[in-house]
Structure 1
């Protein structure tokens, strides 16, 4: 290429420093530090190229689809796959390099070490974690950290959980290969805290990439059938004991103050029969 042939004679521009590729979930982002323009009047522009293992260097000019990183003024090139066609294939071996240019002067190429997305990716926690308390259980539904379009790659999940009152005693359940997980045999009416982690498995090359744990969240399990029966029995016994105590208290008060009670409940005074007859006779 002409650009390569004149590089030595015109390379008075410093090369971009600290180029690095960020591979987080589906993100593919190449970045570097800006090159100072020196005495130049125009902005420094950058030129990114890529190649696969068996191919030649090519400009990133709508290849991969939707990405243009030729004569750009920003210090990053985003290859993130937003659909099945955009971005580098995640199982391909990819190399990248970047060059600065200002007013006809160019810098040396700076190459980033090759990468394979599935080999080098940093896997984040699962998405959309939804927990429903059950009878002595927790039902967990989640989404993978990112979408994959390769039959040789899958996610498996692990759940770290513990009783909230016993934070030092942690258990790990898994691996689970589905997006619906049930933690069973838990204590009823107990608060459990949990974190979920995804692990990427690339079976073609026997590579696994452990992921980050999700944020801690806590939930109280529901009562199971035996616990509900125990609650009913305890309520019945408690009600019986309360009524018995009230009846006993009433009996005690009656016995202690029976004279006063007898006075309260005796029949009202009546008029003597003789006086009543006189009153009746006079009224006639």
Structure 2
């Protein structure tokens, strides 16, 4: 059998001695990259693989691209923040007053680890669009003022939106307690008036914001706020009715009480007369005598009698003639 050529043996030996593709010179790629979109925030996070013993800390580089563009480093010049050679395992694209990526752009992201001249493979995040994928939180600081059959709502937006390509609008979910839920909206701004409500009735409500992206006519509804309940007040007509009812009720009550008192007086007239009759009193002279029996009270009483009381005021003498006297006899 003819031996193989010497060159072929050398190639086989060299091939056997060649290092594998996944040698120690290749770093492990970042794990589980995710994009978090909440209100106006845009944050990329990932997990770091276990560092090898004896190595210094790895750094990370983040890149982005639009639909038909090329990959670019995330720098202050391009996006407004620096995410090249960072030690943190996140990149906040909206930090430091940066607006981040446009709301209606399709954005792709990737991140890799670096250690000196060594680099890892890229860990790519599926493309996203802020208007399509963002989570909208509930409105903040909701104040409710009850009125005459109304509720007036004042609120602040869940986040500041400095873009002419998108706006926020609001919906109010409210219901009479208990009752069927109703929805009013959209409202473009605050304050919000809920009218046509029943007076002196408790209503519960929730408010949510909705992101409107004008470019692609995308509506992204948000989360509802916590439930809060309020009682409405009376309107002018209700107040007048209450005044009339109170007056009529008061007059009727007084009439009933007066009739009852009159009936009781007639029925128990003797008892009432006895209750309200002034009890007899002892003359002051007798009362003094009873206090001091030795006092000559009788002589004092005799002295108090005036002789004029016993005198006649006038004396009349009646005489009859003889003939008239005989007729009388």
TM-score, scaled to structure 1: 0.85
| Structure with higher RCO (Cα < 8 A, 6+ apart) | 1
Shift of 1:205: 0.9
Match of 1:4 in 2: none
Shift of 1:182: 0.9
Match of 1:46 in 2: 60
Shift of 1:54: 4.3
> Is structure 2 residue 27 aligned with structure 1 residue 13?
yes
Task: Give deviations 1:140-189, integer Å, cap 9, x for gaps.
Answer: 122222222332322222111101223xx111111222322111111111
Q: How does 1:48-87 map to 2 (within 5 A)?
A: 48-64=62-78, 66-80=80-94, 83=97, 85-87=98-100
Residue from 252, 257, 264 that aligns with 2:268 = 257
Q: Distance in 2 between matches of 1:82 and 1:161?
A: 39
Aligned residues: 273
Match of 1:153 in 2: 166
- 61-70 vs 187-196, which moves further: 61-70
Task: Give deviations 1:97-141, integer Å, cap 9, x for gaps.
Answer: 100124543210011122222232111112222211111111112
Shift of 1:87: 2.1
Match of 1:232 in 2: 243
Q: Distance in 2 between matches of 1:216 and 1:64?
A: 43
Match of 2:229 in 1: 218
Shift of 1:219: 0.8
Q: Distance in 2 between matches of 1:199 and 1:82?
A: 26
Query: Contact 1:254–1:261 (CA<8 Å) still a contact in 2?
Result: yes
Match of 2:209 in 1: 198
Q: Distance in 1 between matches of 2:301 and 2:25?
A: 142
Specify the structure having the higher radius of gyration (Cα): 2
Match of 1:282 in 2: 303
In structure 2, stretches of 5+ residues that fail to align are 1-20, 287-296, 306-329
Aligned in 2, Cα 1:81/1:203: closer, same or farther, shift over 3 Å? farther
In structure 1, stretches of 5+ residues that fail to align are 1-6
Q: Distance in 2 between matches of 1:195 and 1:40?
A: 56
> Is structure 2 residue 45 aligned with structure 1 residue 31?
yes
Aligned in 2, Cα 1:135/1:54: closer, same or farther, shift over 3 Å? same
- Say what the alpha-carbon RMSD is for the aligned residues: 2.8
Find the residue that maps to 1:194 and give its secondary structure: strand
Query: Contact 1:81–1:88 (CA<8 Å) still a contact in 2?
Result: no
Q: Distance in 1 between matches of 2:106 and 2:229?
A: 42
- 74-83 vs 18-27, which moves further: 74-83
Query: Contact 1:159–1:196 (CA<8 Å) still a contact in 2?
Result: yes
Q: Distance in 1 between matches of 2:222 and 2:152?
A: 21
Q: Distance in 2 between matches of 1:161 and 1:171?
A: 5
- Name the one with the larger strand percent: 1
- 93-102 vs 242-251, which moves further: 242-251
Shift of 1:63: 3.7
Q: Distance in 2 between matches of 1:155 and 1:244?
A: 62
Q: Distance in 1 between matches of 2:83 and 2:124?
A: 15
Find the residue that maps to 1:165 and give its secondary structure: coil
